[in-house]
Amino acid sequence: MPVLAIGNIVSWCAILMVVVEFAVVLMRYVFGIGFIALQESVIYLHAATFMLASGAVLARDGHVRVDVVYSRLGPRSRALVDLFGALLFVVPLALLTFDVALPYVARSWAILEGSRETSGLPFVYLLKTLIPAFAVLLAVEGIAMALKALAALAAGRER
């Protein structure tokens, strides 16, 4: 369950993001100090939280779905919906995202892209690397989702 482990680790980014944002607001409005690198770190933490936790959310069945129909289905129908959803939507989206993002991220790494702001963070290439990482984690969990659905169909029971 490496996807879940990554999700658990990354969940701490949310707490850190709140603390850093509080510091930014305190510094800016109480002390009149602006610190661009600290402000940008909130963006990095938000991106890491979303991109790296997406696979774990899917693994925990916490993703958005239209439960009006799904909740009324039987175990076999749910397994079929999960199987086709994974194979027709999740995995292809992840593969497309990975394919499109790779040249974009490679260009960023080639120049070690940094912030456009003078005192910003010099790690934009690391931020952009989260995109293919997101795609890989989502693809892995999509494949796991399809395999669970296949196992449920084979066993004739709910996953």
Parse the chain into domains and list their residue ranges. 2-155
Q: Around 33, how many Cα atoms within 13 Å sit in the side-chain half-sphere?
A: 8
Q: What pLDDT is attached to residue 1?
A: 61
Q: What pLDDT is attached to residue 158?
A: 47
Q: What pLDDT is attached to residue 159?
A: 45
Distance separating alpha carbons of residues 99 and 90, to the nearest angstrom: 14
| Mean pLDDT across 8-29 | 92
pLDDT for residue 69 is more than 90: no
135 neighbors 58 (Cβ within 8 angstroms)? no
3-class secondary-structure state, position 122: coil
Distance separating alpha carbons of residues 43 and 15, to the nearest angstrom: 13
What pTM, to 2 d.p., does this model score? 0.86
pLDDT for residue 26 is more than 90: yes
| Mean pLDDT across 53-65 | 83
pLDDT for residue 62 is more than 80: no
What number of H helices and E strands is found in the chain?
A: 6, 0
